[in-house]
Every structure is written in C-alpha cells, then in structure tokens.
Chains A and B, each alone.
Chain A
C-alpha cells in the first residue's frame, strides 16, 4: 500500500472539516485534512461571531479558527494544501485527484467543501474586484473611511456587514431586490435605527460603473422599471453562497443548486463518502450546525471504516 493511503481524507478546512478532523483523530484514525487555501474557510471573513455558544462577548472568525486549529494540532494535524478536482472509487478505495495531477487514496472521504459568495454577474463586477467591488467587509471596509458605499443583499450577512461598515463609511445604501429583508428581526431593527444606512428596496444592480475603480452603480427599480445612477466608491456584495461541486456531478447526488444531498447521518449517495457544512443541501447554514454535522460525519465514517472493505 502506498504512503498516500489514508483511513480518511477530509476535504475542506473550515469549521465543519476541523470538527470532523477532531473527532476522527480522537478515534486515532490516519486522517489527512486538505484545503485549496489556508485553514479557516469563509469564517475568516467574519468580523464578529455572536451566535456561537461559549463566547458571550462574541469572537472574530480568525480567533475562532485559531482555537479550533490549536485543538486539532494537539492531536497531530496532518494538513496540506491541494485542490481536489476528481473523485473515483477503485476496489472500495476513494481516489482523489488534485489539480497538480497527484492522486490520494482513502478508505473514506468527508466533503466539507464550504461555499463561496455568489456573484451578481453584472458588467463591471469581475473587472473591479479588489478595486471597490468586495465580498469581505472586514478586509476591505477600512479602505472606505468617510466615503459613500453600497451593500447588496437582504439576508443576515448583508445586514450584519452593512452595520459593521457604518464604522468606516459615511453613508451606506442597502440595496435589495425585494420589498422586505429575510434577515433576522434583531438585525433589521438595528439597520432601521442607523442614520448612516439608507434602504433602496425593490432595486436590482444592473451595472457597476467605473474604469480603474468603482465610481457608481446603475440600479433598476423593479416596480417602475426606471433606472437610477448611484455614486459610490465601493460595493459590498452579500447575496448568498454557492458550492463548488461541479467536479462531483455524476458521482453523487446534488440538488439543483449543486449542494450535496445527504442523509441525516451525513452520508452522501456514494457509500463511504460523507458531507458536512455549507456544501450540504439544507435550509440553514450556520457555524454551529456545520460543526455538528462535522462530528456526525466523522463518527459515521468511523463506523464505516470498521466494516471496510465491505465486500
């Protein structure tokens, strides 16, 4: 058996993957944790997490990840960077192909792939990313001190980040394509109480304006059909998330949006492959349920391994 055969490979090192790793290592499995970027995932982009129990004052995403990382490091962390592009089953073993061409073998796999921010898909968005178009308020907010900016979206992330951005920007237009927000009432109340936030409801962004940097937005009123130009130096986009699961199509069941379909034991439709966290098809995507699913996935993977190779 080659050196690169593991009991378990966990793909994705956010809260779900780190929790799965914690449980798997406590079961003394030979586990590899893979991620195409640094450990942490999307949580790194969160300024203050107030809904993860045990931190009454809240905690930053980076600090929460550091604590989770420390906890798994104590058990011996086998982590490496690598982007998985293929999954095959060979005689019961799951073979992952990395973008480098390297192949890694495992008896079981946990997919904790996370999700990435959805793009608006309008002209100017890609060209001006990093030049005023942003998907991370904590990283980029401080570059807009005293300026007018826009936040796009109507969910918890959009409202929370709009509130965070009031620390820097003088004025924030909160743009939402519907007439009501989906966000939790406490956030809606805080947004309405802020003198710096102006709501722009029933409006869609149709273009981001500017050559070398963002200079404004072109909005369309969904009721009247009228267009208006809004002069802003930045636009922060929080319109939801999408998984990166195109490479799994045809291997296991995905829903229409590409999220992975699992049982309540976090099994995918491919035996020995489990999934947890934001990449899973479900209604709510929170750190707390990502961690819970990570634990369940690891415990079920352990049971699966006891019976391996299931001939």
Chain B
C-alpha cells in the first residue's frame, strides 16, 4: 500500500482536517536523499496504519504548500496533529528517528 499522495488541492482536507496525526514527506524526484528514504516512508505507512497517516507531497507539482511552511530543504518531514505542526525533521534521517518522533505523537 505505502504512503498516500497529497497535493496543494487536498492538503487542507487530507492533512489539516485529519482525525489522526499525519506525517507529510516533502520530496522531489531530483533529490537523491528523498528517493533513498522513500522505502522507509512506505514502511512507516504500513507500520502505523490506523494510528498515523503517512503522506508524500511532491514539491515540484505542489509549490504552494512547501512555501506556506517555509520549506527550503528536502527531504523535510512534518508531523501534523489537529492541523498544527508538532514536529519538523530535515534530512535523510534514520528510520528509528522517524519512528521515535511518531511514537511521541501517538503516545
């Protein structure tokens, strides 16, 4: 199944209004580290199914949302809860770093 795709158009509905926390991976095809961690993002989507929604937003196709959140580097992973930013992680970090952040949000 893997991570779902979100866009500028459905960001409000899919992320900000989500009843459960959402991790959004801001990525692009030209970013090597983004592609290298893509499998980890998909694994997290499976492992946290029902507890955290894991989404990917392509910054090339959707420039509005990254601008709104002041993103100047990718990969950037932002965790949203009740429409608010609760955690921002920049860079191709380890899976453990992301799991720890997600566990904190759902605990």
Chain A residues contacting B71 (CB-CB under 8 Å) are 130, 143
Question: Across the interface, which residues of A come within 8 angstroms of B30, CB to CB?
Answer: 47, 138, 142
Report A35-65 residues with CB < 8 Å from chain B CB.
Answer: 36-40, 43-47, 60-62, 65
Cβ-defined contact, A36 with B32, below 8 A: no
B105 interface hit (Cβ, 8 Å):
no
Q: Is the CB–CB distance between B31 and A37 below 8 Å? A: no
> Is B32 in contact with A234, judged by CB distance below 8 angstroms?
no
The total of chain B residues at the interface (CB under 8 A) is: 29
For the complex, is B94 an interface residue (Cβ under 8 Å from A)? yes
Residues of A within 8 A of B73 (CB): 129-131, 134, 136, 139-140, 143
Asked if A227 is at the interface of the complex by the 8 Å CB criterion, the answer is no
Q: Is B45 an interface residue (CB 8 A)?
A: no
Scan A133-147; emit 1 where CB is below 8 A from any B CB, else 0.
010101110111000
A132 at the interface (CB under 8 A from B): yes
Q: Choose the segment among B3-11, B17-25, B35-43, B50-58 that binds chain A (4+ C-beta atoms closer than 8 Å).
A: B35-43
How many A-B pairs have beta carbons closer than 8 Å: the answer is 82
Interchain CA distance A83-B70 in the complex, whole Å? 31
| Residues on the A chain within 8 Å of B49, using CB | none
Cβ-defined partner of A139 (8 Å) among B34, B60, B93, B94: B34
Chain B residue at smallest Cβ distance from A100: B96
Task: Compute how far the CA of A167 lies from the CA of B45 in the bound complex, rounded to whole angstroms.
Answer: 35
Min C-beta distance of B20 to chain A, whole Å: 26
Q: Given A37-B94, A38-B92, is A46 in contact with B32 using a C-beta cutoff of 8 Å? A: yes
Once the chains are docked, how many angstroms separate the CA of A81 from the CA of B100? 14
Confirm or deny: B72 has a beta carbon within 8 angstroms of a beta carbon on chain A.
Answer: yes
**A124 and B21 alpha carbons, distance in the complex (Å):** 31
Can you list the 4 inter-chain pairs with the closest CB atoms, starting with the nearest? A62-B32, A130-B90, A44-B32, A38-B36
